[in-house]
Amino acid sequence: MSFTGRRIIIAATLCSGLMAAHFAWSRQDASTMHSQPKDRARILLSQPLSKLDGDHLNAVLVEVRYGPGEASLPHTHPCAVIGYVVQGALRTQVKGEPEMIYKAGESFYEAPNGVHLVSANASSTQPAEFVAYLICDHDTPLSIALPGNVHPKGQSR
């Protein structure tokens, strides 16, 4: 048997096995399917995104930690940002919007190019941590400091 013929047989066998596994999994009896916790997955945020080119999309996941009382200087993000607070509380404000405090377990959305006036730990005694998921149209910096910003030692992230 030729090399190509063996590859076809291997591919067909693999596909058949995957189809059989999928069929068996999809036919699980109802009692097994209903025994799983109903709160295993939940939607935390649903947000329509601005029109993107789509030819060079880039998704980045960033962990941000603020010590007690720490804050970032005003900045902007060229990309859409979806955030989820993991620990503590985050105080944030985008220009033109009210200041908000997000606590652990809460999520937020920031549109691309919004001026981030406030990004700070809401506590002066406890740390804060959040995960930011940035969806970028092309390779671009994740954060851009606003002109005139000077980063005092220990104050910027």
Say yes or no to pLDDT of 31 above 50.
Answer: no
Region 25-48: mean pLDDT is: 56
Q: What are phi and psi of 13, to 5 degrees?
A: -65, -45
Tell whether 63 and 140 lie within a shared domain.
Answer: yes
Residue 123 is predicted with a pLDDT of 98
Residue 140 is predicted with a pLDDT of 81
- Per the structure, the complete domain to which residue 63 belongs is given by 58-145
Residue 53 lies in a domain: no
CATH of the domain at 100: 2.60.120.10
Tell whether 21 and 89 lie within a shared domain.
Answer: no
Count: domains in the chain: 2
What gap in Å lies between CA 142 and CA 56, rounded to an integer?
15
Tell whether 73 and 109 lie within a shared domain.
Answer: yes
Tell whether 24 and 92 lie within a shared domain.
Answer: no
Tell whether 99 and 28 lie within a shared domain.
Answer: no
Among the residue ranges 14-18, 36-40, 124-128, 131-135, the one predicted with the least confidence is 14-18
Residue 151 is predicted with a pLDDT of 46
62 contacts: CB under 8 Å, gap ≥ 6: 131, 132, 133, 134, 142
Residue 100 lies in a domain: yes
Residue 8 lies in a domain: yes
User: Residue written as tokens 């406890």?
Assistant: 126
Q: What confidence tens digit (pLDDT) does each residue in 113-145 have?
A: 899 999 999 999 999 999 999 888 777 888 899
Say yes or no to pLDDT of 32 above 70.
Answer: no
pTM attached to this predicted model? 0.63
Say yes or no to pLDDT of 20 above 50.
Answer: no
Among the residue ranges 50-54, 81-85, 151-155, the one predicted with the least confidence is 151-155
Tell whether 69 and 130 lie within a shared domain.
Answer: yes
Output 33 or 144, whichever has higher pLDDT.
Answer: 144
Tell whether 21 and 90 lie within a shared domain.
Answer: no
